[in-house]
Amino acid sequence: MQKWHQRAETTKRVRFANATMKKNKDLRLKIMVWQGITGRRGLTTHLSEALSNLVKLMNDKNKMDGFKTVKSYSLSHHMVSINGKSKAKLDIESMLTQTYIRRLRLAFGTYRKVCKVKKHNGQRAKKILSNVHCHNLRWAFESWRKSNVLTMWAEELNTVGPITEEVFEANRTIKNLKDFMR
């Protein structure tokens, strides 16, 4: 009875710790995204750091969510990697497009006030600003993609393969034997 009570208390503590850790990660994620968007540095220099931190947080968050529903180690890794990649891609895409549109509106609104009379010059300036914004966004995506490909490649090399599955199986067997011996 005492052992069951200890396990129940341990489970409560672990669940509470997981819930607070998830809240803290969500809060840090929101703060980092907001700071990345409204920072004083330009989009091109600050975006790559914010994206790498965002990808790390999204990977951690998706791994935590994935391990709650999947039953075996190999299935959990496979599902987490697929779901994490697709969700992170969609989240980053929507945040970047919203930020890009907001900054574009601000830039064009400011410029529209200055060039209200000279319509031809305003259209030309709009084309120039659009080209600059597109170039900056393309450069940021390329730098993020290069760093992300390297990190994903390293993770997959370390977590996929027959040797890793043998290690998972051996660890699970050891844990089961320890539980059995108690």
pLDDT digits (tens, 9 = 90+) for 63-115: 776 666 555 555 556 666 777 777 777 788 888 888 888 887 777 777 666 66
Let me know if residue 162 belongs to a domain: yes
pLDDT of 173: 92
For the residues 158-177, what does the mean pLDDT come to?
A: 79
The boundaries of the domain holding residue 1 are 1-34
**Confidence at 117, pLDDT banded by 50, 70, 90:** low
Residue 73 lies in a domain: yes
Does 135 or 161 have the greater pLDDT score?
135
Q: Which residue has the higher pLDDT, 133 or 121?
A: 133
Residue 13 has a pLDDT of 84
Distance between CA 17 and CA 6 in Å, rounded? 16
pTM (whole model) above 0.95? no
Same domain? For 96 and 151 the reply is: yes
How many domains does the chain contain in total? 2
For the record, the structure tokens of 45 come out as: 């220099």
Residue with tokens 């998972």: 168
CA-based radius of gyration for the chain: 24
pLDDT number for residue 169: 85
∠ Cα 72 76 78 (to 5°): 125
Decide if 47 is inside a domain. Answer: no
The C-alpha atoms of residue 130 and residue 137 are separated, in whole angstroms, by 10
Q: Is the pLDDT of residue 41 over 60?
A: no
Distance CA(157)–CA(54), nearest Å, equals: 22
pLDDT on residue 20: 85
User: Which is more confidently placed, 139 or 157?
Assistant: 139
Mean pLDDT for the chain? 76
Query: Is-contact 35 50, C-beta < 8 A?
Result: yes
Same domain, 66 and 29: no
Give the closest residue to 85 by CA, choosing from 58, 123, 121, 54.
Answer: 58
| DSSP code for 115 | T
Of 115, 6, 20, which Cα lies nearest the Cα of 64? Answer: 20
Residue 121 domain flag: yes
